[in-house]
C-alpha cells in the first residue's frame, strides 16, 4: 500500500516541456567499433527476431521490432538515457528552445490522479480562456485523465497549431465541472521571471534552463536594477526547476561569479567528456551575438544572495546551486535537491531521430559529485511553517531504478518513506492547503530567504524546531576564485 500511495501522491515538476537533464547536443561521431563484437549474443538477437517474425500470433513489422530493441537497449542503462523517435526528438528540441505548440499551462499530478494546474502562462490560450491555478483537469476531450501518466497527458494537450482540445475542469467553489474549448498555439515560454518584492530586495525565478535563458536572465536583471538601483539583496529561485540546457546553467552561474571562475566539470569515458567549464562567453553563448552578461550592472557580482531549492531542483539547477555554494557567493536555502548529477548528450542518428545518452558525471568547483546525493542547503527550510508538504513524498534520483551511483561519496542511506499512515496524513493536510504560488506573499521559504538577507531570524526545518539568528549580510560579499 505504501508504494501505491507514493505513486499517486507525488506532485510533478511543474511540467510544460520539462527536460530533467543537463543537455549537450552533438552529431554522432564516427568512431571505430570495437572489433571484439559479441557475435554469439548478436546471433541470439537475430534468432529471436526470426522467431517473432515466423511464430508470433500476428505479423509484426521489422521496423517496430528493431526500434523497440534499440529502445530497450538504451533504456536499460539508466533512467535518463533514451532512444528518441521522430516525435520525442521534436518535443525535446522544442522544449530546449523554449517554444512548443500547446495550451500554455504548467501542470502537475494531483493526489487524486487528476492533472493540477500549477499556473497558466501569461497571454497563452489557456490564460485567455480563463484557466486558473489550482484547477483540476479531469478529461481531455473524451478521455479521462485518471490512469494517464503526466507525459501521456502532455502529449494529448500538444498538437498542431490552430487545432482544438476540450478540457473538463473541477474548480473549488464551483458546483459543476467547467468545460473549456481551447485552440492550440505556438507558446513562447519565458524561462526567467522576477520582481522587486520589497524595497531593496528582488526575487528572480528560473523555471527551466533553455537556450534563451541567459538572454532572459540578463534582460530581467537589467530591468530589476532600473527599478531599484540600490539593491540590497537578491533571491534566486530554483525550486521545481528540472534542469535543461547545460550552457544555460553555466551562463546563470557566470552572471554572479568572476569571469574566469570554474562553474562545473565533467568526467566520463570519452576524452571530450573530461573537461571544465568556466564563466566565459565561449562556454555559455549558443550564438555569436556578443556577450550579453558583459552589459549587466557591476553590482550584480557582489549583491548578497540566497538561492531557494527543493526536491524538484534537479540537474542544471543543481550545477548553479553547487557553484554558488562552493564559492560562498550565496546561501542555499530550502530542502535537499533531487540529486541528478549526470550529463546527457544528444547523439543524432538520422535527420529526425537521436539517442539521449548519459556520457558523464558532473562535479561542483570543489569536486563534489551531486549524483544520487544532491545539494544540501546551508539552511534547511521546508515549504511551509508546519512541514514540507508533498515534497516529502517525492522520489529523488537515488530512488530511481538503475540510477547511476555517486563515484565520490558513499550514497546516504535513503530515509524510509513508504509508511502509509504518514503519507495519508500528508495528503489529507495538503488537500486543505491552497496551491502555493512561488514569489507570493504566502511563500514561506521566500520570506525566510528575505529574513536571512536582512540578518533576521530564519525558521529552519520542522525537525530542527528552531530559529537561526542570521548575521547581517554584508553589503559586499567576497568572492573566491
Phi and psi at residue 115, to the nearest 5°: -100, 120
Angle formed at CA 329 by CA 327 and CA 333, multiple of 5 degrees: 110
What the block records as the C-alpha cell of 287 is: 550564438
Of 387, 392, 391, 390, residue with least CA distance to 460: 387
Say what the pLDDT of residue 317 is.
95
**pLDDT > 50? residue 10:** no
Whole-angstrom Cα distance, residue 325 to residue 314?
15
Instruction: Give the pLDDT band (50/70/90) at residue 374.
Output: very high
pLDDT the model gives residue 272? 86
DSSP 283-301: HH-SSSS--GGGGS-GGGG
Identical topology for domains 113-188 and 192-408+438-454: no
Convert the pLDDT of each residue in 225-237 to its tens digit.
999 999 999 999 9
102-144 residue pLDDT tens = 898 878 777 778 888 877 877 889 999 999 888 899 999 999 9
As a whole number, the mean pLDDT across the chain is 84
Give the per-residue pLDDT at 391. Answer: 76
Tens of pLDDT, residue by residue over 36-48, are 788 899 999 999 9
Q: Is the pLDDT of residue 411 over 70?
A: no
Q: Give me the CATH code for the 192-408+438-454 domain, please.
A: 3.90.226.10
Superfamily of domain 113-188: PDZ domain (2.30.42.10)
Asked if residue 315 lies in contact with residue 20, where contact means CB atoms within 8 angstroms, the answer is yes
Domain ranges of the chain: 113-188, 192-408+438-454
In 3D space, the residue among 371, 421, 418, 419 whose CA is nearest the CA of residue 397 turns out to be 371
| pLDDT value of position 389 | 75
Instruction: Give me the pLDDT at residue 29, please.
Output: 40
pLDDT value of position 159: 87
Catalytic residues: 315, 326, 340
Handedness of CA 396, 398, 403, 405 (dihedral sign): positive
How far apart, in whole angstroms, are the C-alpha atoms of residue 213 and residue 205?
11
On the question of pLDDT at 16 being above 70, the answer is no
Q: Within a 10 A sphere around the Cβ of 175, how many other Cβ atoms? A: 5
Q: How far apart are CA 214 and CA 249, in angstroms?
A: 8
Whether the per-residue pLDDT at 52 is higher than 60: the answer is yes
Residue 212 has pLDDT above 80, yes or no: yes
Least confident of 33-47, 344-358, 365-379: 33-47
What share of the chain in percent tops pLDDT 90? 56
For residue 348, with 0-12 CB atoms within 10 Å meaning exposed, 13-18 middle and 19 or more buried, which class applies?
middle
Amino acid at each position: 500500500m505504501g508504494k501505491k500511495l507514493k505513486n499517486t501522491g507525488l506532485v510533478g515538476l511543474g511540467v510544460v516541456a520539462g527536460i530533467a537533464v543537463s543537455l549537450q547536443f552533438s552529431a554522432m561521431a564516427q568512431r571505430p567499433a570495437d572489433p571484439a563484437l559479441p557475435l554469439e549474443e548478436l546471433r541470439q538477437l537475430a534468432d529471436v527476431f526470426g522467431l517473432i517474425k515466423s511464430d508470433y500470433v500476428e505479423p509484426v513489422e521489422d521496423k517496430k521490432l528493431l526500434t523497440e530493441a534499440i529502445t530497450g537497449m538504451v533504456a536499460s542503462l539508466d533512467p535518463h538515457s533514451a532512444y528518441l523517435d521522430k516525435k520525442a526528438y521534436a518535443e525535446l528540441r522544442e522544449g530546449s528552445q523554449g517554444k512548443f505548440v500547446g495550451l500554455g499551462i504548467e501542470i502537475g499530478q494531483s493526489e487524486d490522479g487528476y492533472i493540477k494546474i500549477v499556473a497558466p502562462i501569461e497571454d497563452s490560450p489557456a490564460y485567455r480562456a480563463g484557466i486558473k491555478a489550482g484547477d483540476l483537469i479531469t478529461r481531455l476531450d473524451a478521455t479521462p485523465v485518471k490512469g494517464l501518466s503526466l507525459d501521456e497527458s502532455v502529449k494529448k494537450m500538444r498538437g498542431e497549431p490552430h487545432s482544438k482540445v476540450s478540457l473538463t475542469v473541477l474548480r473549488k467553489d464551483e458546483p459543476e465541472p467547467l468545460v473549456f474549448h481551447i485552440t492550440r498555439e505556438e507558446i513562447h515560454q519565458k524561462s526567467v521571471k522576477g520582481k522587486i518584492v520589497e524595497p531593496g530586495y528582488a526575487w528572480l525565478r528560473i523555471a527551466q534552463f533553455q537556450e534563451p535563458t541567459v538572454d532572459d536572465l540578463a534582460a530581467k536583471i537589467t530591468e530589476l536594477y532600473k527599478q531599484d538601483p540600490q539593491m540590497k539583496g537578491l533571491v534566486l529561485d530554483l525550486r521545481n526547476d528540472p534542469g535543461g540546457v547545460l550552457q544555460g546553467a553555466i551562463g546563470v552561474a557566470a552572471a554572479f561569479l568572476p569571469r574566469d571562475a570554474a562553474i562545473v566539470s565533467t568526467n566520463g569515458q570519452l576524452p571530450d567528456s573530461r573537461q571544465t567549464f568556466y564563466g566565459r562567453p565561449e562556454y555559455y553563448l549558443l550564438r555569436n551575438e556578443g556577450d550579453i552578461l558583459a552589459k549587466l550592472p557591476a553590482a550584480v557580482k557582489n549583491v548578497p544572495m540566497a538561492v531557494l531549492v527543493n526536491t524538484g531542483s534537479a540537474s542544471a539547477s543543481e550545477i548553479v546551486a553547487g557553484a554558488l555554494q562552493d564559492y560562498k557567493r550565496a546561501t542555499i536555502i530550502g530542502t535537499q535537491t533531487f540529486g541528478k548529477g549526470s550529463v546527457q548528450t544528444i547523439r543524432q542518428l538520422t535527420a529526425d531521430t537521436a539517442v539521449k545518452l548519459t556520457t558523464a558525471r558532473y562535479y561542483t568547483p570543489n569536486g563534489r559529485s551531486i549524483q544520487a546525493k544532491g545539494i544540501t542547503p546551508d539552511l534547511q527550510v521546508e515549504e511551509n511553517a508546519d512541514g514540507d508538504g508533498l515534497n516529502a513524498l517525492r522520489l529523488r534520483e537515488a530512488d530511481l531504478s538503475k540510477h547511476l551511483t555517486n563515484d565520490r561519496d558513499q550514497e546516504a542511506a535513503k530515509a524510509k518513506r513508504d509508511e502509509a499512515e504518514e503519507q495519508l496524513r500528508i495528503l489529507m493536510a495538503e488537500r486543505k492547503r491552497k496551491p502555493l504560488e512561488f514569489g507570493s506573499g504566502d511563500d514561506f521559504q521566500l520570506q525566510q530567504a528575505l529574513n536571512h538577507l536582512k540578518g533576521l531570524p530564519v525558521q529552519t526545518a520542522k525537525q530542527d524546531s528552531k530559529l537561526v539568528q542570521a548575521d547581517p549580510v554584508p553589503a559586499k560579499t567576497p568572492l573566491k576564485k
